[in-house]
């Protein structure tokens, strides 16, 4: 059991012991209700939060860099589909479970139909919609119309600028997979589960484009002992250079949730232009400090270890331009994988493994680098899990243990005093409690006003970022659209409608790529900066009140000390610091997905391109519905130029409307929620510090009026409670050492 598991289990046991201690308090004479009811609720909340907290690790890189092979070698088995296609972007997530299994989450029919609507904007065939003006792939007539629309595409639409038409592939895949998938889906969403006996079957879905296109999430569960740590999620991401920009946006969305990244580079290709672009993007997002680089070497491509050392040095130097002092490792994931599953290999792979094993120098180098990587990774996983998932909980439990100790001390004092002396203690405590209540009210009122001002300031920041006339990222996008010119078209004759569609497809692909590579990273950095600003705003409010709380507690301790009551020493967390990242994690809130910002094209109106322009509408309509494909003439080229201008304008208008929706979601569903939750956390943290001294004190006074026999019983119960409390304190201290407290 590693230090994280040890600390977590110790903390869980301490929580259970505290719960039993709270229950014992009710058995005291004169105590009618549980004096620690609020702390009992806190314990239950903490238990749920510890179970839900997850440390995320993303495995990324360009297509064919060996990401899936690396993931399989890391877990010691052929769990993830290797060599999956590039049309669908499926982030395969791997977690620890009770037994081997796979869960595939399918899109809803609404999501499928919406994607088809997106893909069919300005499609050359204009009669593909259903009778109700919408598309529903569940209707046979709609599937037939979609199939016919695809048949009308010429070769110049299926492949443009050397790139396959992703819209055509998407729709083709949906149509081909419909019969196999239809019974597994419902109106909302569905999932398909594979147990250990049928685990390999999940690869048939992931590796088959016509089925994978219906997937939106894949989670693999590996049993303990297969390399996956408790509460760690490792994600095998799609290649960053996928021809579909939406896939890059999906990877970006996952990266925003991750705690660190493993970047895989193939030794066959070295650092490619695609890697430079993606690493630059990661840097813009502010995530470059959390990357480990793995050079996935192919023994068959290198003659000697000297080649690998030279490659390692060269790639390290190249990466250093984007990530100073990078941590780079070089080993063969395929060799590690084959070595781990030797009994499962076919004759061809066994022969390859045997050949590699003969090269002892290469093998030793790879083994050394693998061991070095795993040792550093294990330390990082343990450290981050302790810091992110447990440290704050240990601090809070320690506070409770300290507070219970004070309650026991005061209760013991009560049962040893006569009624007159006890009454004086009660009076003094009541006066101090009034001061505590005033501080609480003051904090609450101040926070309410400060948060209103903070909401205005943060809201204005968001509005400025999305301002269509002043926001740098947005105005840069407008300039990109304005200056965009389609690449030179194939000189071969083409129909007018196909030419219009090709122009729009190229425009949309270029805009999507710009958004994924430029706007999304800028948006991610903006959100991180705003989170830091929220943290600063909240903590600036917290600082003076933290000092005020400390003063109140000092007076309270002195008052009780003057009456002969000694309170426990305590180590409290910093009272004037709110960890916004912790608030976000524990609340489970996330910023709107970056992919959402790219779902705008369905708003581009086909009729606007047809109806508006400087060319003859009558001539255009005749050409539009002419079933014969005729060569383009000078007028057609002029019409396409005007159509492109309308497309640009419609695209900008659609994006403006879409950004307005995205902006409001970002403000109200993320930024303002984060502000409010940070304020609540601050208030709770300050209240908890005060609660240490007043929790359950009202019920304690009930001991004063008990007879002597009852007081003797109370002394015995309190003595046993203190013994158990000290045992709990030792457990929490042990967990605290592991988490660095």
Asked, for residue 58, whether it belongs to a domain, the answer is no
pLDDT in tens, 486-496: 876 544 445 66
Output the pLDDT for position 84: 54
- DSSP string of 284-337, one letter each residue: HTT-GGGEEEEEE--GGG-SSHHHHHHHHHHHHHHHHTTSSS-EEEEE-HHHHH
Could you tell me if 267 and 300 are in contact, meaning their C-beta atoms sit under 8 angstroms apart?
A: no
The three-point CA angle 296-302-303 to 5° equals 150
Q: Is 105 helix (H, G, I), strand (E, B) or coil?
A: strand
Output the pLDDT for position 491: 44
528 pLDDT higher than 60: yes
Asked, for residue 587, whether it belongs to a domain, the answer is yes
Q: What are phi and psi of 138, to 5 degrees?
A: -70, -20
Tell me the average pLDDT of the chain: 81
Output the pLDDT for position 422: 67
576 pLDDT higher than 70: no
pLDDT in tens, 181-229: 888 876 556 888 999 999 988 888 887 888 888 988 899 999 887 777 8
Asked, for residue 644, whether it belongs to a domain, the answer is yes
Distances (CA, A) of 625 to 144, 501, 596, 620, 630: 19, 14, 34, 9, 12
Q: Give CA–CA dist 116/244, Å, rounded.
A: 15
685 pLDDT higher than 80: no
When divided into structural domains, the chain yields a total of: 1
Q: Which residue, among 295, 243, 201, has the nearest Cα to 509 in the 3D structure?
A: 243
User: What is the domain extent for residue 681?
Assistant: 418-703
Distances (CA, A) of 604 to 118, 485, 600, 716: 10, 18, 8, 78
Confidence of residue 615 (pLDDT cuts 50, 70, 90): very low
Q: Is 498 helix (H, G, I), strand (E, B) or coil?
A: helix
Confidence of residue 396 (pLDDT cuts 50, 70, 90): confident
- Which region among 155-169, 248-262, 405-419 has the lowest average model confidence (pLDDT)? 155-169
Asked, for residue 567, whether it belongs to a domain, the answer is yes
Confidence of residue 632 (pLDDT cuts 50, 70, 90): low
Instruction: Specify the pTM.
Output: 0.85
Q: Is 106 helix (H, G, I), strand (E, B) or coil?
A: strand
Asked, for residue 54, whether it belongs to a domain, the answer is no
The residue written with tokens 């630059």 in the block is 280
Output the pLDDT for position 101: 94
Q: Which residues of 652-669 are buried (b: 16+ CB within 10 A; e: fewer)?
A: bebbeebbeebbebbbee
Within 10 angstroms of residue 691's Cβ, the number of other Cβ atoms is 20
Asked, for residue 560, whether it belongs to a domain, the answer is yes
Q: Is 466 helix (H, G, I), strand (E, B) or coil?
A: coil
Between 516 and 303, name the one with better pLDDT. Answer: 516
636 pLDDT higher than 70: no
The residue written with tokens 């969403």 in the block is 189
Confidence of residue 41 (pLDDT cuts 50, 70, 90): confident
Output the pLDDT for position 129: 64
59 pLDDT higher than 90: yes
pLDDT in tens, 120-177: 876 766 566 666 778 899 999 989 888 888 887 765 555 555 556 778 888 889 999 9
Asked, for residue 726, whether it belongs to a domain, the answer is no
**Segment 499-523 mean pLDDT:** 86
Confidence of residue 442 (pLDDT cuts 50, 70, 90): confident
Output the pLDDT for position 431: 73
Q: What are phi and psi of 92, to 5 degrees?
A: -85, 115
Output the pLDDT for position 222: 93
**Segment 392-397 mean pLDDT:** 85
Output the pLDDT for position 711: 77
**Percentage of the chain lying above the pLDDT 90 cut:** 29
Output the pLDDT for position 568: 62
- Which region among 374-383, 545-554, 664-673 has the lowest average model confidence (pLDDT)? 545-554
For residue 193, list its beta bridge partners. Answer: 103
- Torsional sign, CA 367, 368, 374, 377: negative
Within 10 angstroms of residue 561's Cβ, the number of other Cβ atoms is 11
pLDDT in tens, 341-356: 998 889 999 999 998 9
Asked, for residue 292, whether it belongs to a domain, the answer is no
Tally of CA atoms within 13 A in the half-sphere of 428 that contains its CB = 19
Q: What are phi and psi of 77, to 5 degrees?
A: -170, 165
Output the pLDDT for position 334: 93
Chain centroid offset of residue 175 CA? 32
Distances (CA, A) of 714 to 343, 352, 422, 496: 67, 76, 15, 94
pLDDT in tens, 668-683: 999 999 998 888 887 7
Own/partner pairs, 142-150, CB within 8 angstroms, 24+ separation:
143/175, 143/178, 146/116, 146/120, 146/171, 146/175, 147/175, 149/120, 149/123, 149/124, 149/125, 150/175
Q: Give CA–CA dist 259/526, Å, rounded.
A: 18
Q: Give CA–CA dist 92/389, Å, rounded.
A: 23
Q: Give CA–CA dist 164/294, Å, rounded.
A: 30
Distances (CA, A) of 370 to 266, 417, 495, 514, 663: 15, 68, 57, 37, 45
For residue 164, list its beta bridge partners. Answer: 159
Exposed, middle or buried by CB within 10 Å (0-12, 13-18, 19+), for 628? exposed
């Amino acid at each position: 059991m590693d230090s994280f598991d040890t600390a977590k289990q110790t903390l869980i046991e301490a929580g259970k012991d505290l719960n039993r201690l709270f229950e014992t308090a009710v058995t005291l004479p004169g105590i009618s209700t549980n004096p620690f009811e609020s702390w009992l609720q806190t314990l239950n909340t903490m238990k749920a939060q510890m179970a839900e907290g997850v440390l995320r690790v993303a495995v990324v890189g360009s297509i064919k860099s060996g990401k899936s092979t690396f993931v399989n070698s890391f877990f010691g088995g052929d769990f993830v589909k290797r060599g999956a296609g590039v049309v669908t972007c499926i982030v395969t997530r791997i977690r620890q479970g009770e037994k081997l299994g796979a869960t595939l989450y399918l899109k809803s029919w609404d999501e499928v139909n919406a994607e088809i609507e997106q893909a069919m904007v300005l499609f050359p065939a204009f009669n593909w919609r259903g009778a109700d003006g919408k598309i529903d792939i569940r209707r046979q007539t709609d599937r037939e119309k979609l199939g016919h629309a695809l048949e009308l595409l010429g070769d110049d639409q299926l492949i443009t600028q050397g790139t396959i038409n992703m819209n055509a592939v998407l729709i083709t895949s949906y149509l081909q997979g419909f019969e196999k998938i239809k019974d597994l889906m419902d109106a909302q969403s569905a999932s398909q589960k594979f147990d250990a006996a049928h685990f390999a079957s999940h690869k048939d879905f992931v590796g088959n484009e016509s089925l994978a296109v219906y997937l939106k999430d894949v989670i693999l569960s590996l049993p303990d002992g297969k390399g996956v740590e408790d509460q760690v999620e490792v994600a095998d991401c799609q290649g960053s250079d996928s021809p579909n920009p939406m896939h890059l946006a999906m990877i970006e969305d996952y990266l925003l949730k991750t705690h660190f990244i493993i970047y895989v580079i193939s030794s066959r290709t070295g650092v490619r232009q695609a890697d430079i672009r993606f690493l630059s993007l990661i840097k813009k997002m502010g995530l470059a400090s959390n990357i480990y680089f793995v050079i996935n070497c192919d023994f068959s491509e290198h003659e000697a270890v000297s080649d690998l050392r030279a490659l390692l040095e060269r790639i390290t130097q190249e990466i250093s331009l984007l990530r100073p002092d990078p941590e780079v490792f070089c080993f063969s994931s395929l060799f590690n994988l084959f070595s781990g599953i030797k009994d499962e290999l076919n004759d061809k792979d066994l022969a390859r493994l045997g050949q590699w094993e003969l090269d002892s120098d290469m093998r030793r180098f790879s083994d050394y680098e693998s061991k070095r990587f795993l040792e550093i990774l294990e330390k990082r996983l343990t450290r981050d899990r302790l810091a992110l998932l447990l440290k704050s909980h240990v601090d809070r439990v320690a506070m409770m243990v300290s507070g219970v100790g004070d309650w026991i001390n005061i209760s013991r004092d009560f049962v040893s005093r006569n009624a007159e002396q006890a009454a004086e203690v009660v009076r003094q405590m009541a006066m101090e409690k009034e001061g505590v209540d005033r501080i609480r009210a003051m904090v609450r009122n101040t926070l309410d006003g400060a948060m209103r001002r903070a909401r205005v300031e943060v809201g204005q920041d968001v509005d400025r970022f999305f301002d269509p006339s002043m926001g740098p990222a947005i105005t840069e996008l407008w300039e990109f659209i304005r200056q965009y010119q389609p690449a030179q078209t194939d000189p071969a004759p083409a129909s007018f409608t196909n030419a219009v569609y090709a122009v729009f497809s190229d425009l949309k692909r270029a805009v999507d790529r710009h958004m994924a590579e430029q706007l999304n990273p800028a948006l991610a950095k903006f959100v991180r900066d705003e989170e830091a600003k929220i943290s600063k705003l909240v903590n600036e409010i917290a600082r003076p009140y933290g000092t005020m709380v400390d003063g109140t507690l000092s007076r309270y301790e002195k008052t009780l000390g003057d009456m002969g009551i000694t309170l426990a020493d305590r180590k409290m967390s910093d009272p004037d610091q709110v960890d916004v990242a912790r608030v976000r994690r524990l609340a489970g809130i996330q910023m709107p997905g970056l992919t959402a910002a790219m779902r705008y094209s369905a708003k581009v109106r086909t009729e606007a391109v047809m109806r508006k322009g400087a060319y003859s509408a009558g001539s255009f309509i005749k050409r539009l519905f002419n079933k014969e494909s005729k060569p383009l003439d000078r007028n057609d080229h002029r019409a396409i130029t005007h159509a492109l201008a309308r497309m640009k304008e419609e695209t900008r208008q659609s994006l403006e409307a879409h950004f307005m929706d995205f902006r409001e979601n970002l403000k109200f569903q993320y930024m303002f929620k984060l502000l409010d939750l940070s304020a609540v956390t601050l208030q709770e943290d300050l209240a908890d510090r005060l609660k240490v001294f007043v929790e359950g004190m009202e019920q304690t006074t009930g001991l004063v009026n008990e007879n002597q026999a009852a007081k003797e019983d109370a002394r015995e119960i309190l003595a046993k409670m203190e013994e158990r409390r000290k045992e709990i304190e030792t457990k929490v201290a042990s967990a605290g050492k592991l988490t660095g407290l």
